[in-house]
Amino acid sequence: MLTIAGTEFSSRLFLGTGKFSSSAVMAKAIEASACQMVTVALRRVDLQNPDDDIMKALSQRAYTFLPNTSGARNADEAIRLARLARAASGSSWLKLEVTPDPRTLLPDPIETLRATEVLVKEGFIVLPYMNADPILALRLQDAGAAAVMPLGSPIGTNQGILTDFQIEIIIEQARVPVVVDAGIGAPSHAAYAMEMGADAVLVNTAISVAGDPVAMAAAFAKAVEAGRTAFEAGMGQRSKQARASSPESGTLSSHLEFLS
Amino acid sequence: MNITLNGTQKVFPSAHTLSQLLADLQLPPETIVVELNTLIIQPDCYSETTLSEGDTVEIIRFVGGG
């Protein structure tokens, strides 16, 4: 069972709720994924369309809501959004996201650490989105982050896990859960992260823009479970030298020389 | 009275409270958060918070996001 900040999660798949074609499709995809943690963003109310409220579709079941600070370009903006998120949700869970460059949406490590320090002191449960930097992961964990969320590749790119070498080190060193976030574009990418020993993965674009988001959510749920089970089962070592799977003794070398 | 509401200049009658503003906009208070001049206003203070000339009001809610 995955535990973050004292809350237990039986599903290790977290879902983002952005870019779905409708609230109904989103709700069905969440159901199919069996996830227990969903992310949401904060934006100005569209005053021309005041009935457009995502929480109507999400309030059917009890999820842990993980509001993000997307749109924040520095620590101060992220802290302001965090306080608004807590006022709106009544909970202290927060995905901290500080992305100054709209082209790459890569997280600013200095501002993310600064905001983590402030928000932890204010009692937030902070899950920072971060580049896959093992030293930064340690610094964020020391600052009180409840989990760390290293990226596989930039947000929304579907490029998969391009940072596996660093993520392996982060997992090896972490005392807090490691949630691989961003860039996961296929169930196989999610399974790979889980096989490496990630505690969970967060997926959004790959599901929300799929041809059939509900079926894709179910596929991701299976992949995450398979990857986790494989990790717990203990993966075999990689080798450059071939090793026969079939017995090497008892071959019929005298009659069938090509088998020897 | 001029106020800036979600980035747009609006004219409202003077002595308008936040409760009246939300009613005008047909926004159920339980689905939103209000920031007045960058300070978060608690819902139980909406009826006693009166808007003043030049105020900046942000009305925020959750949307889909990753």
pTM for the structure as a whole: 0.88
> A222 to chain B, minimum CA–CA distance in Å?
21
Number of CB pairs, chain A paired with chain B, less than 8 A apart = 90
Work out the mean pLDDT of chain B and round it to a whole number: 90
| pLDDT for res A138 | 97
Does residue A222 fall inside a structural domain? yes
CATH number of the domain encompassing residue A83? 3.20.20.70
Does residue A255 fall inside a structural domain? no
Does residue A182 fall inside a structural domain? yes
Residue B30 contacts A, CB cutoff 8 Å: no
Domain with A136 in it: 2-236
Residue B36 contacts A, CB cutoff 8 Å: no
Tell me whether residues A43 and B63 touch, CB distance under 8 A: yes
| pLDDT for res A256 | 63
Tell me whether residues A84 and B7 touch, CB distance under 8 A: no
Q: Which of B6, B38, B66 faces A47 most closely, judged by CB atoms? A: B6
> B29 to chain A, minimum CA–CA distance in Å?
10
In chain B, the residue whose alpha carbon lies closest to the alpha carbon of A58 is: B64
Q: Which of A42, A50, A68 faces B60 most closely, judged by CB atoms? A: A42
| pLDDT for res A46 | 86
Q: Mind listing the domains of chain B with CATH numbers?
A: 2-60 (3.10.20.30)
The yes-or-no verdict on residue B13 having pLDDT over 90 is no
Does residue A249 fall inside a structural domain? no
In chain A, the residue whose alpha carbon lies closest to the alpha carbon of B21 is: A47
Does residue A251 fall inside a structural domain? no
Does residue A250 fall inside a structural domain? no
Residue B13 contacts A, CB cutoff 8 Å: no
| pLDDT for res A240 | 92
| pLDDT for res A71 | 95
In chain B, the residue whose alpha carbon lies closest to the alpha carbon of A202 is: B66
- pLDDT per residue as tens, chain A (260 positions): 999 999 999 999 999 999 999 988 999 999 999 999 999 999 999 888 777 777 777 775 678 999 999 999 999 999 999 999 999 888 999 999 999 999 999 999 999 999 999 999 999 999 999 999 999 999 999 999 999 999 999 998 999 999 999 999 999 999 999 999 999 999 999 999 999 999 999 999 999 999 999 999 999 999 999 999 999 999 988 899 998 888 888 776 656 666 65
Is A95 part of the annotated catalytic residue set?
yes
Q: List the single range of A69-78, A245-254, B14-23, B50-59 with lowest mean pLDDT.
A: A245-254
Tell me whether residues B25 and A87 touch, CB distance under 8 A: no
> A233 to chain B, minimum CA–CA distance in Å?
31
> A242 to chain B, minimum CA–CA distance in Å?
43
Does residue A59 fall inside a structural domain? yes
On whether the CB atoms of residues B46 and B29 are closer than 8 A, the answer is: yes
Among the listed residues A56, A95, A121, A222, the single catalytic one is A95
* φ, ψ (nearest 5 deg) of residue A26: -60, -45
Q: Which of A44, A55, A204 faces B60 most closely, judged by CB atoms? A: A44
Contacting residues of A for B26, CB less than 8 Å apart: 50
Q: Which of A84, A156, A182 faces B33 most closely, judged by CB atoms? A: A84
Number of domains chain A contains: 1
Does residue A153 fall inside a structural domain? yes
